[in-house]
Chain A
Amino acid sequence: AQRVTQPEKLLSVFKGAPVELKCNYSYSGSPELFWYVQYSRQRLQLLLRHISRESIKGFTADLNKGETSFHLKKPFAQEEDSAMYYCALGGSQGNLIFGKGTKLSVKP
């Protein structure tokens, strides 16, 4: 079965601290993984995807097929990073399979 697991509902860190949002997936084929972010009162938007291997707003994510993980990392969290983060897996029909999300709170 295709599934995405985000074990943390809430992650609270202080400004300047490193942050890691965990994501594990279950998929039998070659996975396509995404991180979407939803800032307060804004729509869901793409943060990054593993194919592009970009660093967006200082965030990176590495696909680890051995551990079936796609954790999102940032070395120094900023207050403006506070948001809801969703890990998503590309489904067989181009749809997205989302995890339940992790709320990141960056305290000053």
Chain B
Amino acid sequence: DTGVSQNPRHKITKRGQNVTFRCDPISEHNRLYWYRQTLGQGPEFLTYFQNEAQLEKSRLLSDRFSAERPKGSFSTLEIQRTEQGDSAMYLCASSPRLADSTDTQYFGPGTRLTVL
């Protein structure tokens, strides 16, 4: 499967614990995006990378959220001191960044986080 992959697919954690999600984009896609989707809502943009550079992080929901893409390939999203309100589906998408216009984004299956 050459699509975007995300691990784990499901994560159940207790309030206050830290969690980390991984996203592997389509090979050679230099843009990688993270979104969060809660019940009844569309995906909400969190942050994105152009290669290893994080070009936007002001949309991260709080300072408990951080993301990395150290070698410009896979990315991780970490949530520290989780809260019940963090329960959501976390989506990753990648795009080739071929033009100045908005490129087609290819989404992963998501990681569903449940905070007890």
Contact = CB atoms under 8 A, between A and B. Distances in A.
Interface of A: 4, 9, 32, 34, 43-46, 49, 51, 86, 88, 90-91, 93-101
- A46, A95, A101 — most chain B CB neighbours (10 Å): A95
Contacts, number: 59
B23 to A, nearest CB: 12
Given A93-B56, A95-B33, A100 B107 contact: no
A32 to B, nearest CB: 5
B85 interface: no
A99 B107 contact: no
B82 interface: no
Interface of B: 3-4, 31, 33, 35, 40-45, 48, 55-56, 91, 93, 95, 97, 101-110
A46 B105 contact: yes
Contacts of B33: 94-96
Contact of A43 (B40, B97, B101, B108): B108
Given A43-B109, A43-B110, A91 B104 contact: no
